Structure 1
Amino acid sequence: MAVDIDKDGKVGCAYYVAIDEALHIEEDIALGGLELVDTLLLRVQPTTVIVPNRAPGNLVELLERDSQRLDDDASNPEKGSHILRHLASAEFDYENGRDVLANLDLEQATPDPIEVLPAGDDSMNLFHSSDHQKLVRLARRISLDSHLSIGCAGAVLGDIDRRRAAEASCLDPEEHSPFQVVSIRMNTPEDTMLISADALISLQVIQSELHPNPQLQYSSNSESKAKESLSVCGLLQALACTAQGKLRLRQMLFRPTTEIDTIERRQQAIAVFLHPENQEMATAIRKLLRKVKNTKSLLHYVRMGVDRVRGQLSVRTEEWRALLRFTMISIQLREAIKLLSGYSSVEILARVFDSIDPRMFTSVGETIFKTIDFKLSKENGRTEIRTGASEILDELRRTFSRICKMLPGVEDALRKGVPAHFACHIQYCAIIPQLGFFTAITLDGESGEGIYNGNDAVGDNWQLGFVHEGIAYYKNNKMVDLDSHYGHLPTEISDEEINVMLNLTAEILAKEEHLITVSELFGELDSILALALAAAKYGWSAPQMTDSNVIDITGGRHPLQELLVPSFIPNDCFLAGGSGCDEPEDRSCQGETSGEGGTEGGSTDGDERGEGSSMLILTGPNNSGKSVYMKQIAVIVYLAHIGSYVPAKSAIIGITDRILTRIATRETVVDDESAFLVDIKQAAFTVNFATRRSLVLADEFGKGTSTETGSALFTAYLAHFLDLGSERPKVLVGTHFHDIFENGLLESQEGVDLAHMDVRLNEEAEEMEDEITYLFKLLPGRGESSLASSCAAKNGVDVEIIERAEDLILFQEGHEDLGVVCGGLMEERNVGLARARTQRFLDMAILGPKASVDGSLREKLEELVYQEDEDDEIGEELDLGP
């Protein structure tokens, strides 16, 4: 098994099962962290684990915990469960792993669609590349967006090749070679909705943008310089008030759950916070949470140390103050939760309440407060120990204070013992930690020594110690005598301060696990409060989650789009996926939707709509809101699966295992792929990974090639889902390929609904851009026209271009060959112009007795040919257009 984890906690994993000769690739899981790695170890139970050399230290520590040691005895029952090996980071490279996977010789389980595509079609020439063919085939099996896991797969395959080479020399040539890879399997996390990176970006669940300061975009700092733009994640994270709350909310967003119990628990917590009786207390809890820092990072500073106390590592005063505040606020939060109506029935509130032991938190807070003098620390700019924290330290300080009070008398005695004219240059006596007592003398700038250096002192040895800021510091007999009696005091004081801080640290770290647990619970509480605030602020309602395979939304809205427009028009949606009830003995299907995508009349969830379609095809005008409608349905389903309320009047959401999209074409110069190939890969992934509980969105699939090829691909794409019968997913698509309906290309209409967005046309409008008014209301039936000309006019396209386009549209709608029509028009125009020019040439009378040509013949001929104004008049007379 190969494991990799990036700095943001995203986990990638791949492993090989020898008995099945199968390579398993896990979907990359954002913010999975070490907990997920630990879960994978328990689930897979690998014999060997490989990690890159750049693997973070905490991952290596986790893997070394149960790894085998070199001195492990084979008979020892407590030996490690796996061998841990480190490989070069280059072996975990994504592109290398992708290429190795693409070149695997695997049996084709199904007919290869790439081979039957029309090779003669110029639009399909991009498939002639063998590398492209391999990548497309690979995309049918796995998600190429899982960069870490694909890199891990490459590392696993490289290790398998080395093992195979080592074993091959010992085998008979006719024997089956070990470590073969006959299949690849893509695994998705259990109880978690699969949503790909393309879907996350297309639906604007996440959308990061770089820091506006270019100098900070590429800083060497390891922290990310991207910030969340207008997105669902950014919208919700802005409402969380703690660092751990924002992190927890992001984890929920990246790992939507398919467990109804978990979803309902979160909804129940939101409902408690939204209850009118709890509004005021919920606000008070938010104010308290704003004062809480991430205790996990604070305790990290406690363990590692980030400042100095008397030259030794310790913790900054701000961190101790934050820990003290955490203990105080924890007790206050416990009391606030107790005042919430119905708190005991909400799991997260009950867990927070039960986890906070007032006596323990009070003890921790008092220990910190009685140890650190925060006021004195602020004044001195360093951590100061409070008086009374240690009797030994207090006694040492009292002794040191007496010595400091004694030093002025020592200064006076020294002044009396030197010549009178030098006495004024003795500044003071001081004790310097680690160095002892010194006499400070005014510095002589010429000699670089003190103005008085004790040369005339009889029986007294003056030695220059160092010079600092115009003062020379000397050791003499009196200073040496003080050193012998009291010079150890600063060191003893520093050592005792260190002991006090170590004792404080030990007492705090003894409760580290419990403090971190409470801090994480605060993060979860903050994330639920953020969802509750979003529901109250934006008018969201609680969805009803069901095992039935339906999406029933009344008055749905797009949570981001409605923030950008003066008013938003809500729309309904009803889709019913397959029931999976082909086998009569499958009792688990009872109460679910019917085999053709509709719900049975006796639905256990109270659905009264009856049968419904599994596919909704949107047609109609450009810019009328089709894409926003599709995205809002997916976002509502997505929000429901994180336990949030949703932007709708009401909603019944069936458990959805995957949201698969073919919406946004993300092109990059890094990958040698055309826009059409990117679309094909996205569509292939949706086809091969969709289940009956999936939601599939496709917006204008097939538009990147010729109309005939695109409409054929789109029709086949829809027919594939419709032919799945009771296993058909819920599908939302938008298209402008009207010929698939007019020519009857989509054979079966069962289970399909057509809809369009309402518009109003005003044919009497003076300006073309005023002809169309978008109403953004979903209506049943097919929209007959895209109204692209009016849309182009509203967006500033020149009128002459639009009029010319409309003429061509009329010819096309009359099933005329545009090449012949346009060619005929040009031929008629050219014949007319040739006749006119011939007549003008004859009228010039160049030859014969009546010739009257002035000037050169060349000039006259040029004037004859280039009479553009007259040519245009001729074109108008012939009604040929410009």
Structure 2
Amino acid sequence: MAIDMDKDGKVGCAYYSVIDEVLVLEEDIAMGGIDAVDTLLLQVQPTSVIIPNRAPSDLVEFLERNAHRYDDDEASRREQGSYILRNLVSAQFDYDAAKESLAKVDLEPLKPDPLHVVSSEEEPAQCIGSSSHNRLMRLAETINLDSCGSVGCAGAVLNDLERRRAVEDPVLDGNASTAFRVRSVKMNTFTDTMIVSADSLVSLQILQSELHPNPQSRSSNNSEPKAKETLSVSGLLQALACSAQGKRKLRQMLLRPSTNLNLIQERQKTIEVLRRAKNHDCVKTMRMQLRKLKNTKTLLLNVRKGVDRIRGQLSIRTGDWKALLRFAMVSTQLRQGTRSLVGGSEVAICSRISNEVDERRFLFIGEIIMRTIDFQLSKESGRTEIFPGISQYLDELKREYSDACRMLPDLRDSVSRDIPRWAAEHILHCTIMPQIGYLIAVKLDPNTGEGVYHGQAHTEDEWTMCFVSGDVVYYKNRLMLDLDSQYGDLPSRIADEEIQVVMDLASAILQHEDAIISASELFGELDSLLALAQAADKYNWVAPTMTVSNVIAITEGRHPLQELLVPAFIPNDCNMAGGCGSDGPQGAELLVSGARRGADPSLLILTGPNNSGKSVYMKQVALIVYLAHTGSYVPATRATIGVTDRILTRIATRETVVNDESAFLVDLKQAAFSMNFATRRSLLLIDEFGKGTTAESGSALFAAYLTYFLDLGAERPKVLAGTHFHEVFENGFLKAGKDVGYAHMDTRLDPHAKDPEDQITFLYRLLPGRGPSSMGILCAAINGVPRDVISRAETIVALQNRNEDLVSACSESQSEEDRQRLAQAELTARRFLEMQVPVPSRGKQPEGRIRDMLQEIDIEQGRGGAPVMVFVA
């Protein structure tokens, strides 16, 4: 992954996926800054990050926090990051050089161009009519070449892949390597995509991963991120996917929620069809079949690598061939399953599988694998075995080898007859070894390190020792050499022919590589939609109504994660409406909960006690909106969701010891980001903004922050805010209006209960209007704060409520001894202030006199008086 950022905060990014063999460019993000980089890292989860050496210092510092470090101490090794950070020269990120590199990427054959008029002196990519120019122009149809930062990053990635390719295959003899090749180039744009910042992804627990506990595994340069999902929306849904392809596709859907109503409605329609009772058995069968699929791209990568000629053995495991055979068989079964779905022809994915998956092609793939690989014999022998009849030459070699193996006992007897009788018992057997040939095995003489017999009695027949293994010495004599010349190296010749057969099989499979990958992608998409349908059934989710009107109307909404952790979850409604824009309302006016759209507030402020469920409520609204834009069903009884372009949060303050920013500064940056990027179709979540500073400054900032969004008028976003700054409303800091709504979480109080936990009962039910108090002291008592601290806090709060002088009131609560000491100290201080300190004359310092005066004051006050200390120059 390559990242670049200029001084204005514009971020460019490109990355390469090894398993997909695709180069992905992200559209340049104007003023994205570190927040955009954080989001990209969270979405891509790279194993290696490269940046230019001219990168801004804040970008370097941010990336170094989570980078892999090669420290020697054990503590540092435990804190190693998830990616390797490398700095490259800035020339690697040059825009023009990157375009040249992109033009050289060999994707697919170009169509002949009648205007091909290139000369050898001209630059290939810049010459109109050249093949490089045509390739670049065709590439411009899929990527935005105006995203200069991302194009430069793509050039850096291509150069790095070239370096890795040279390291992977140092001796290629001019042949192109298949390692790190680029099969396709694509660009991710923000068109029709909801933007969710990294803070929002973490705060809402959409993504929340843990690194692999082994530092070497989690930082290895591999295509798959070494992390696991904890309790999160992504982890909840991905656990329901059956295949690796389905999990990857589902993650892509979750990381890029769509604002395209047609796509969202198509996914909802697919889920509805998959959930029909008539399709229950068919869906269950398809899920079982999908569980049999392995990562097809990994299997094809192993096939493409071919055979390891250096080791002289088959590098493709029998399990890989079996997995490919299973994929071919399952492909035909899944195609038949989608065609048998009731209403399957109404959804796009089933129609695409029916039309694009060629059943005869996959039956042919399965047939050639079954006809070539003997899986039963391979299981018994522990190596890949080839069926007879595939290669006549291989069959002949195996027959010769079988005959040679049958004659080995006779060879042993023949050797024993030609040697002295006493030595015959030391001849163990004869054998054949690859690349060595025929050998005689003789017992080892531990005293000499040679065989007990090694041809001593046959001077005309030299016995040559080849090697020693354990207590056996292997020799060659003239008979063994004659057999070698007659039969040759049969095991090696058999291995070479088996390699050739497997290479022919791999070549035949790779002719259908595109069809296999295309089918794998379709099955991954089907699996992801089956997972969403399973979630809807398992967790009782419903299909939301998507609309172009800028509203949120949720009836009995629930938090998809919180409801799994509590015995009973209390659902709540939410009705909000953002600005209608300068062009007026779009679409018909909607009726929401019996009221017209204009009656719903755009700013809903939540108050009430701590631990009453305000934060959970805000998050559940955002998650319902988020899930609706992925095409998923949502945890509610009914929901109408307007198209939302981004979700911005000021909830969690992600602090770290390597970050020199205070918690309040981080909160301010999150608030500034939301003010700069929010539109009328955005949803903002603001939880206790301003708590990191004084109450006066915090309440002022909170009121000004909300007023900013209200003043946007028709362009105001939808804002959910939670606060404990009651003085904002009591003093009228926030102007009232129909765009402002208040709500609080219902509680029941019993002040006469002895146990603090019985004094308050949280009902977790949203009610209109402001809550009376935050009840912080009562919450402190419930959570184990000592009783004397609680009593003291209650006294101070009561004094504040009566507007009494806290200094005087606090002095009245002092003991008699403390009051006496305070009075003596005050009298000593007054006498000291009344002292007439003499002015020092030239050359004389009145130190002694001053000390005497201070001693007199101390004597007058007695030993209990507070000591007086004066520093005399």
Determine if the TM-score, normalized by the shorter chain, exceeds 0.5: yes
Quick one: distance in 1 between partners of 2:684 and 2:35? 25
Task: Find the partner of 1:788 among 776, 792, 796.
Answer: 776
Q: After superposition, where does 1:600-611 map in structure 2 within 5 Å? A: 600=589, 611=599
What is aligned with 2:507?
506
In structure 2, do the counterparts of structure 1 residues 15 and 238 end up closer, same or farther at CA, with 3 Å as the change threshold? closer
Query: Aligned in 2, Cα 1:308/1:814: closer, same or farther, shift over 3 Å?
Result: farther
- For 1:557, the equivalent position in structure 2 comes to 558
Matched, 1:385 2:386: yes
Aligned counterpart for 1:671 among listed residues 654, 659, 673: 659
Counterpart position of 2:728: 740
Displacement of 1:476: 2.0
SS in structure 1 of the partner of residue 508 of structure 2 = helix
Alignment counterpart, residue 756 of structure 1, candidates 728, 732, 744: 744
Whether the 8 Å CA contact 1:298–1:323 is kept in 2: the answer is yes
Secondary structure class of the residue paired with 1:314? coil
Query: What pairs with 1:671-820 in structure 2 (closer than 5 Å)?
Result: 671-819=659-807
Residue equivalent to 1:842: none
- Asked whether the equivalents of residues 10 and 29 of structure 1 are also in contact (C-alpha less than 8 Å), the reply is no
Rate the CA distance shift 1:80–1:219 in 2: closer, same or farther, 3 A: closer
Moved more, 730-739 or 277-286: 277-286
SS of 2:649's partner is strand
**Which residue among 120, 124, 129 is the counterpart of 1:77?**
129
Partner of 2:857: none
Q: 1:757 to 1:249 in 2, by over 3 A?
A: same
CA offsets 1:719-749 (integer angstroms, 9 cap, x no match): 1111111100000000111111111111242
Identity %: 54
- The 5 A counterparts of 1:16-31 are 28=40
Tell me: CA distance 1:16–1:731, structure 2 relative to 1, closer, same or farther (3 Å).
closer
Does residue 345 (structure 1) correspond to residue 368 (structure 2)? The answer is no
Deviations 1:311-332 (A, max 9, x none): 2353011111111111111122
* 1:186-230 deviations in Å (ceiling 9; x for gaps): x9711111101100111111112345x567786757564432111
* Cα deviation 1:827-872 (Å, max 9, x = unaligned): 9996689999xxxxxxxxxxxxxxxxxxxxxxxx999999xxxxxx
Matching of residue 633 in structure 1 with residue 621 in structure 2: yes
Specify the code of the residue in structure 1 equivalent to 2:255: F
Partner of 2:242: 241
Residue 601 (structure 2) aligns with:
613
C-alpha spacing 1:601/1:296, structure 2 compared with 1 (3 Å): closer
Structure 1 residue 766: Cα displacement: 2.6
Q: Does the 8 Å contact 1:242/1:289 carry over to 2?
A: yes
Counterpart selection for 1:591 from 587, 591, 607: 587
Q: Which amino acid aligns with 1:739?
A: E
User: What is the 5 A alignment of 1:386-535?
Assistant: 386-457=387-458, 459-535=460-536
Q: 1:630 to 1:75 in 2, by over 3 A?
A: closer
Provide the rounded CA distance (Å) in 1 between the counterparts of 2:432 and 2:477.
13
Alpha-carbon distance in structure 2 between the residues aligned to 1:383 and 1:81: 47
Change over 3 Å in CA distance of 1:601–1:219 after alignment to 2 = closer
Give the aligned partner of residue 661 of structure 1. Answer: 649
> Are residues 575 and 424 of structure 1, via their aligned partners in 2, closer, same or farther at CA, if it must alter by over 3 Å?
same
State the AA in 2 paired with 1:569: I
- Asked if the contact 2:648/2:684 (under 8 Å) is kept, the reply is yes
| Structure 1 residue 394, shift from structure 2 partner | 0.9
Q: Which residue of 1 aligns with 2:169?
A: none
Match of 1:160 in 2: none
The residue that corresponds to 2:200 in the other structure is 199
How far residue 767 of structure 1 moved from its aligned partner, in angstroms, is 2.9
Alignment partners' CA distance in 1, 2:279 and 2:743: 43
Aligned partners of 1:11 and 1:29 also within 8 Å = no
1:630, CA displacement in angstroms? 0.4
1:870 is matched with none
**Paired AA for residue 248 in structure 2:** L
The residue that corresponds to 1:5 in the other structure is 15
Aligned to 2:852: none
Equivalent residue letter for 1:347: A
Going from structure 1 to structure 2, the CA distance change for 1:797 and 1:32 (only over 3 Å counts) comes to closer
Aligned length: 714
Partner SS, residue 312 of structure 1: coil
In 1: Cα distance, 2:307 partner to 2:670 partner: 49
- Provide the C-alpha distance between the structure 2 equivalents of 1:708 and 1:616, rounded to a whole number of angstroms: 22
Q: Unmatched 5+ residue regions in structure 2?
A: 5-11, 47-88, 108-117, 137-148, 158-187, 825-860, 867-873
Cα distance in 1 for partners of 2:729, 2:595 equals 31
Shift of 1:70: 10
> 1:707: how far off?
1.0
Structure 1 residues without counterparts, runs of 5 or longer:
35-48, 85-147, 157-186, 593-599, 837-860, 867-882
Aligned residue for 1:667, secondary structure, equals: coil
Amino acid at match of 1:535: A
The CA deviation at 1:445 is 2.3
Contact 1:555 1:571 in 2 (8 A): yes
Q: Is the 8 A contact 2:821 2:864 kept in 1?
A: no
Deviation at 1:340, TM superposition (A): 1.4
Q: Deviations over 1:236-291 (max 9, x none)?
A: 11111211111111111111111111111111111111111111221111111111
CA distance in 2, matches of 1:742, 1:549: 31
Alignment of 1:276-291 (within 5 A): 276-291=277-292
Contact 1:640 1:646 in 2 (8 A): yes
Structure 1 window deviating more from structure 2 (546-555 vs 303-312): it is 303-312
Residues 270 and 529, structure 1, Cα contact 8 Å, conserved in 2: yes
Decide whether aligned partners of structure 1 residues 374 and 308 sit closer, same or farther in structure 2, where only a CA change above 3 A counts: farther
Task: Give, in whole Å, the separation in 2 of the partners of 1:722 and 1:394.
Answer: 84
- Per-residue CA deviations over 1:636-665 (Å, capped at 9, x if unaligned) read 000101111000000000110000000001
Counterpart residue number, 1:879: none
Equivalent position SS for 1:565: coil
2:150, 2:330 → 1: CA distance? 42
Residue 56 of structure 2: aligned partner: none
How far apart are the structure 1 equivalents of 2:91 and 2:564?
45
Deviating more after overlay: 725-734 vs 609-618: 609-618
> Structure 1 residues 344, 308: CA separation in 2 closer, same or farther (over 3 Å shift)?
farther
Please identify, of 732-741 and 403-412, the stretch whose mean Cα deviation from structure 2 is larger: 403-412
How far 1:7 sits from its partner (Å)?
7.2
Q: Deviations over 1:515-539 (max 9, x none)?
A: 1111121111111111111111111
- The answer to whether the Cα contact below 8 Å between 2:14 and 2:151 also exists between their aligned partners in 1 is no
Match of 1:144 in 2: none
Deviation sequence 1:730-787 (CA, Å, 0-9, x none):
0000011111111111124231110101111113223333211111111111111111
Q: What TM-score, normalized by structure 2, do the two folds share?
A: 0.75
Contact kept? 1:231, 1:560, Cα under 8 Å: yes
Q: Judging changes above 3 Å, is the alpha-carbon distance between structure 1 residues 80 and 149 closer, same or farther for their aligned structure 2 residues?
A: closer
C-alpha change, 1:151 and 1:29, in structure 2 (3 Å) is farther
2:105 to 50, 56, 65: 65
- Equivalent position amino acid for 1:766 in 2: K
Counterpart of 1:595 in structure 2 is none
Question: Aligned partners of 1:601 and 1:204: how far apart in 2?
Answer: 31
